[in-house]
Amino acid sequence: MESTMNLSPGALAGLRVIEMGQLIAGPFVGKTLGEFGADVIKIEPPGAGDPLRNWRLIQDGTSVWWQVQSRNKRSIALDLRQREGQDIARRLIAQADVLVENFRPGTLEGWGLGWEELRRLNPGLVMLRISGYGQTGPYRDLPGFGAIGEAMGGLRHLTGEPGRVPVRCGISIGDTLAALHGTIGVLTALYHRKVNGGQGQVIDVALTEAVLNVMESLIPEYSAFGAVREPAGSALPGIAPSNAYRCTDGVVLVAGNGDSIFKRLMQAIGRDDLGNDPALADNAGRVARVAEIDAAIEDWTRPRSVDTVLATLGAAKVPTGRVYTAKDIVEDPHFRAREMVLTQRTRDGHDVAVPGIVPKLMGTPGQVRTSAPHVGDDTDAVLGEIGFSSQDIAALRGRKVVA
């Protein structure tokens, strides 16, 4: 594992981002923009800071998740509930390119930081707002976490086994999907600002809608045929064969659903009778007999080890893979060669393995330039950049406006 920690500029160098969000969706946007060179200033409440600092496994009082989510950011501890804190936020936003926030709709307006006021301060501001249901509509004021977005967006209904209670995928995928859509929105708005007279705009991302947007054919199938797609375990309904198959020592995933791939797969497992069957030459025919095909594949995989199956099907150029754990990922030579497992030194002096950066840009690659900050590490520096003297900052600190 290697570290790419250095001071090289990135594609977004010179872009200033104010991050007001907490936990997952908003901060993931800041993380992504920061990896490509943006100056991301994270506003945290004095004291405990972002609640993510205390989520899951803790090292020296801080979640190791924090080390990924907040690298390449500067932290300013600012109490936005106080009028002076709101005034400082306005001064920061007046000099920023992007504001990212994922509070419940109406929260910023209650602090005097709504869009209409901010656009008067900074007409070029790009404001990303991520919430459970969006800034409009009958549900806008309801609390909405990623899990609810996954449920209402249609994803949860499809996870798990038929007839069982739906399961979550094990991570907060709804939040991350919203963040990725938000990042796309920010970059799109910045391009528009550049070519259309410098005007900013609001980007409104709802967790529910971000999930719905990746649900493939779910809605048109219902519209055209009245078909309500149901959970199917590890299979991919309507596309065959694509499933998980048991081996002597684990499970393999096999995606043999291309026409030519299917023929190679059947040849590799000694089932040329199926591979050469004209009725199975296309996907529609295979879907009609998917149970028969799945049984034939598992009859072949079940007495064999995972390694044997992977080697045999890999030689036949059939997409196949094992189910990776965290240990498998960290030890995998391909992930390491692609710098997708990096070593990052925390500010408390620990080396921790973290995911690398996606996507890979050839000319201006994303990088880890700084480790995740402690609460308020950069308060003095950031306030100094917008005109506060050391005496001013000390007075603000005494009034508990900043920390």
- Extract the tokens encoding 323: 């189910």
- Extract the tokens encoding 116: 């209409």
- Extract the tokens encoding 129: 């707002």
- Residue 394, phi then psi, degrees to nearest 5: -60, -40
The CA distance from 128 to 29, in Å, is: 9
Contact 16, 39 (CB under 8 A): yes
Contact 34, 40 (CB under 8 A): yes
The CA distance from 23 to 270, in Å, is: 51
* Alpha-helix runs per DSSP H in 161-289: 173-195, 207-212, 218-225, 259-268, 272-275, 283-288
Give the residue among 371, 362, 328, 349 at the shortest CA–CA distance from 4. Answer: 371
Count of CB atoms situated within 10 Å of the CB of 299: 13
Write down the catalytic residue from 175, 204, 377, 378: 175
The CA distance from 132 to 106, in Å, is: 13
Structure letter (DSSP) for residue 96? -
* Alpha-helix runs per DSSP H in 1-49: 25-35
The residues facing 78 across adjacent strands are 402
| Helix (H) / strand (E) containing 199 | none
The CA distance from 174 to 184, in Å, is: 16
The CA distance from 15 to 47, in Å, is: 28
Report helix, strand or coil for 333.
helix
Contact 127, 203 (CB under 8 A): yes
CA distances from 322 to 24, 273, 295 (A): 29, 27, 19
Q: Does residue 87 have an active-site annotation?
A: no
Contact 71, 80 (CB under 8 A): no
CA distances from 316 to 243, 260, 285, 289, 311 (A): 18, 11, 22, 23, 9
- Catalytic machinery residues: 175
